[in-house]
Structure 1
Amino acid sequence: MRKKGANGQESRARLLIVAANEFAKSGYHQTKISTIVSRAGLTQPSFYLYFESKEAVFKELVEKFRSELKILLEGSRLESGIDEEHVTGRLQSVLTGLFAFLGKDSDLTQIGFFIGDDAVIVKSEMVAMIEQNLKAEQRDGYFDGDLDMHIVAECLVGVIERLTSQQLLTGKRTPEDLARHVVSLFMHGISIYPAKRAT
């Protein structure tokens, strides 16, 4: 970025917002720089004051999503010593925060979680971070010690991905509602019958 000052920062921010919306709506390949600058009320030469290319804007948006998600997941691990009756509520709070993040900027979520080439990597990183948290929580006695937390993390990310695209971003469900359902499913299952151990 070569331009300094409040006007330059405002123009750059406007380009990022418009670009995110265009990428989310039209995809990477169909989005044109001319459309971005026109919608942002700027000229095409001004675009190059802030970004080298369309790819540079897209990568910056993906990295923004990725880094914010990483910070959120790093702070989501259950602390040691939570009373058993508060674990479900704490998990629900963590998942509500995650769904709220994914719903806050739907354009950025579309880019970072669904349409970007790095979306698969972002979700793999998410699985690894959730698995790490779950293993620590398993050691703290919150979860069944026999569970393979890699499988649990994969399942959880799959559920989050699907619910985000089909329920959250479409406005059908709130982050709180989705979190409540996911925690209920993972903590209590779907059966009304008491669990029987295989002999």
Structure 2
Amino acid sequence: MKRNRKGGYHTLAREKGAKGKESRLRLLHAAAKQFATHGFYTTKVSSIVAEAKLSQPAFYLYFESKDAVFEELVEMFRSRLQAVINDSQLPEQNGAKHSALDQLCHTLQSMFEYFYSHPDLTRIGFYLSPDANEIKLELVQGIEKMLRHEQQNSNFASDIPMNLVSECLVGTIERIVFTQLLPGRITPEELAVNIVRLYVSGLARNQSKV
């Protein structure tokens, strides 16, 4: 899948009022469904426009190619996931901070709710994209930063390598999201609580329950 010369994720969108925005969104949603269901190489522009109930000329009005719409969907997943993680900080209550376990559980639940609410984007960005490993590495780094902060505050054992814990967490997330969350076998809240109990309660000095 090719990128433009600047390495960005741009489309040739030429929106013309509300109707143009609606058509572009319909194409994005249709493309996400087709890519998630059939994969990148099997999906054709003709199947995307058929799903969106638009014409091929309409597709090329907003997107340069199949590659372009796929790359935009990947970047959409990536940026929204990062925003979810950045915005997941629990607010203080009456000047008191939440526990490390509550914060991690809330962050994971927010992330799982995003995955669950956007299954097509998740399949594309987290599994199908050539950038999937890079996206997961960014997730590892974000989780490691959070865990190291709590470790420095003496909430987790000081002799545990948090880079290894973060890698294990993301490996678990990758598998469990695919086999349990997206098929609807477990809720985002249940998954977050179970993962925190499995990993973090074993690391905490005080065996707190979520």
Alignment TM-score > 0.5, same fold: yes
RMSD, aligned α-carbons: 1.9
Deviation string for 1:57-108 (max 9, x for gaps)?
Answer: 000000000001112223346789746xx43333222221111111111000
Give the letter aligned to residue 140 of structure 2. V
2:88/2:106 contact within 8 Å kept? no
* Equivalent residue number for residue 197 of structure 1: none
Higher helix content, 1 or 2: 1
Q: How many pairs align?
A: 188
1:112 to 125, 130, 133: 125
Give the letter aligned to residue 65 of structure 1. F
* Equivalent residue number for residue 162 of structure 2: 149
* Gap runs ≥5 in structure 1: 195-199
1:77/1:133 contact within 8 Å kept? no
1:35 to 47, 52, 64: 47
* Gap runs ≥5 in structure 2: 1-12
With a CA cutoff of 8 Å and minimum separation of 6, indicate the structure with the bigger relative contact order.
1
Deviation string for 1:88-131 (max 9, x for gaps)?
Answer: 33322222111111111100000000111111111011111111
TM-score norm. by structure 2 comes to 0.84
* Equivalent residue number for residue 180 of structure 1: 193
Distance in 1 (CA, whole Å) between partners of 2:133 and 2:39 is 16
- Structure 1 residues 79 and 10: CA distance shift in structure 2, 3 A: closer
**Deviating more after overlay: 19-28 vs 86-95:** 86-95
* Equivalent residue number for residue 96 of structure 1: 109
Q: Which runs of 4+ in 1 moved over 3 A?
A: 75-83
Distance in 1 (CA, whole Å) between partners of 2:169 and 2:73 is 24
Distance in 2 (CA, whole Å) between partners of 1:118 and 1:28 is 13
* Equivalent residue number for residue 53 of structure 1: 65
Secondary structure class of the residue paired with 1:173: coil
* Equivalent residue number for residue 13 of structure 1: 25
- Structure 1 residues 157 and 77: CA distance shift in structure 2, 3 A: farther
